[in-house]
Amino acid sequence: MNAPQISQNYSDLPPVLHAPAELLPVAEPQLAIANDKLAAALGISRDWLHGEEALKLLSGSAPAAHGQPLAMAYAGHQFGGFNASLGDGRAMLLGDVMGVDGQIYELHLKGTGRTTFSRGADGRATLSAMLREYIISEAMAALSVPTTRSLAVVSTGERVWRQRPEQGAVLTRVAKSHVRVGTFQYLAVRSQVDAIRALMEHEIARHMPGVSGSRAFLAEVIARQAKLIAQWMSFGFIHGVMNTDNMQIAGETIDYGPCAFMDMFHPQKVFSSIDENGRYAFDKQPVIALWNCTRLAECLLPLLDDDKATAIKMAEAELMNFMPQFEKEFERRMLAKLGISDVAQVEFITQTIMEMANSRLDFTQFFTSLTRGEDVAMPDAWKQKRNGLLASDAQALMAAHNPVYIARNHRVEEALAAAGEGNLLPLHRLLLAVQQPFIARAELAELEKAPGPQEEVLQTFCGT
């Protein structure tokens, strides 16, 4: 029986960055769902994960063998407004495990109760929000989009009060690192330049082989974000809360709140019920990611050069690379989805996006139809133009870039509602589809379908 071999290394960083997190036993921990494959990739055995010890450790009730769990400090721009003191208000970093791939991963528990950083809130999480994160993060991973992963959800047997009483739960989140842009901001606003340097070196050592120095570090974060946003958008994904505390330095998608995959395509689509101005709408995501990278660059100025004007010039030069990198990746992916390999056909993407929006097409189904050679509701002129542009390997391109299954919002909500009643079958069925999203299976055909007019979920709430 292999338990995770956990070591706490974040405690080596300056004390300003973390606070001890208290272990609070929960009433009745029960395993709601467990990710056996991910466990195997982390050298954790299935029997441990499904056993008593895991229930205690992964509900935040028992200490890991080595090291004190920590709440991480961070700041953040939330919807544009700066908050100098956020931090893990309901989470704790258990520590590091070594993956079988040789990469270090952090185990982080979300929903474990109040910490130094909780401000007025309860420190808890709902079962439905944690299962939602489990489904969508695992769907993203299966699409090969960099993301934090979900190892397990343990229900606590306790009530959590949101708009109504809900079941409490703890999610075990796995990431290359939980350091965010907001972690750097936390230090910058406190003028802790030495700590900024230490944090940067910590990140470089963990997951940026070959990177050296602050300029290369900034360039690497920018490159990863640019690629990440292009990947999101090629699958119709809207993050929903791209605050700087929700943008991770390692370039993994983090913090699955009111996010969703789009059904009917609209470039200005917003899901989050609290995003009233559409700051984080689908097509704003690259601009916002660049804005967040700019906030990181500001934190790094003292490291870039002693002369501030020189440092700003360096930062600007790197930030200038964001949009071209994003565009290159986005265009390549969108063209591949259309079966086109000639990357010069940028105008055809613009035309496609416009026509898709006009025709109110389902984003994923449209591309699946193209892959299958089915007719699509687009103008004849568009079809003719596309025929002329198709690559010789169009079929392979489309099959590799157009998933059959995404975690459709109405199916996610349906699965969560059933899970709340103790029926996990719809959730497992949905996971079956989205964990192998490019392979169509007749028995899962209904999970391909776009929502009917009555089924469509128009907003996702932050009731977390």
Q: How far apart are CA 67 and CA 95, in angstroms?
A: 8
Closer CB to ligand AMP, residue 123 or residue 146?
123
Q: Does 113 bind ligand AMP (CB under 6 A)?
A: no
Q: Determine contact, residues 71/59, Cβ cutoff 8 Å.
A: no
Q: How far apart are CA 178 and CA 155, in angstroms?
A: 23
Q: Does 325 bind ligand AMP (CB under 6 A)?
A: no
Tell me how far, at minimum, the Cβ of 241 lies from Mg ion, in Å. 7
Exposure of 267 by Cβ count < 10 A (0-12 exposed, 13-18 middle, 19+ buried)?
A: middle
Tell me how far, at minimum, the Cβ of 132 lies from ligand AMP, in Å. 12
Closer CB to ligand AMP, residue 21 or residue 349?
21
Q: How far apart are CA 87 and CA 237, in angstroms?
A: 26
Instruction: Strands of 127-240 (E only): list them.
Output: 149-161, 165-175, 237-238
Closer CB to ligand AMP, residue 438 or residue 461?
461
Q: Does 257 bind ligand AMP (CB under 6 A)?
A: yes
Residues identified as active-site: 245
Q: Determine contact, residues 322/222, Cβ cutoff 8 Å.
A: yes
Q: Does 122 bind ligand AMP (CB under 6 A)?
A: yes
Question: Two tokens at 269?
Answer: 């689509």
Question: Two tokens at 443?
Answer: 């028995």
Q: How far apart are CA 381 and CA 385, in angstroms?
A: 6
Question: Two tokens at 104?
Answer: 């270090």
Token pair 């009233």: residue: 276
- The phi and psi torsions of 47 (rounded to 5 degrees) equal -65, -35
Determine the interface stretch with ligand AMP among 121-129, 188-196, 376-384, 428-436 (rule: CB under 6 A). 121-129
Closer CB to ligand AMP, residue 142 or residue 270?
270
Closer CB to ligand AMP, residue 86 or residue 151?
86
Q: Binder to ligand AMP among 133, 255, 318, 331 (CB under 6 A)?
A: 255
Nearest to 169, CA basis, from 95, 247, 225, 113: 113
Determine the interface stretch with ligand AMP among 36-44, 45-53, 113-121, 269-277 (rule: CB under 6 A). 113-121
- Residue, CB closest to ligand AMP: 89
Out of Mg ion, ligand AMP, none, what residue 220 binds, judged by CB under 5 to 8 A for its kind, is: none
Tell me how far, at minimum, the Cβ of 4 lies from Mg ion, in Å. 24
Closer CB to ligand AMP, residue 117 or residue 363?
117
Q: Is 114 helix (H, G, I), strand (E, B) or coil?
A: coil
Question: 266: number of CA atoms within 13 Å, CB side?
Answer: 9
Q: Hey, which residues between 229 and 248 contact ligand AMP (CB under 6 A)? A: 241, 245-246
Q: Does 89 bind ligand AMP (CB under 6 A)?
A: yes
Q: Does 121 bind ligand AMP (CB under 6 A)?
A: yes
Tell me how far, at minimum, the Cβ of 257 lies from Mg ion, in Å. 7
Q: Does 292 bind ligand AMP (CB under 6 A)?
A: no
Contacts of 447 (CB under 8 A, 6+ apart): 405, 408, 411, 429, 430, 433
- Residue, CB closest to Mg ion: 255
Residues forming the site for Mg ion (CB under 5 A) = 246, 255
Q: Determine contact, residues 156/170, Cβ cutoff 8 Å.
A: yes
Q: Does 124 bind ligand AMP (CB under 6 A)?
A: yes
Q: Does 88 bind ligand AMP (CB under 6 A)?
A: yes
Residues near ligand AMP (CB under 6 A) are 86-90, 117-118, 121-124, 241, 245-246, 255, 257, 464
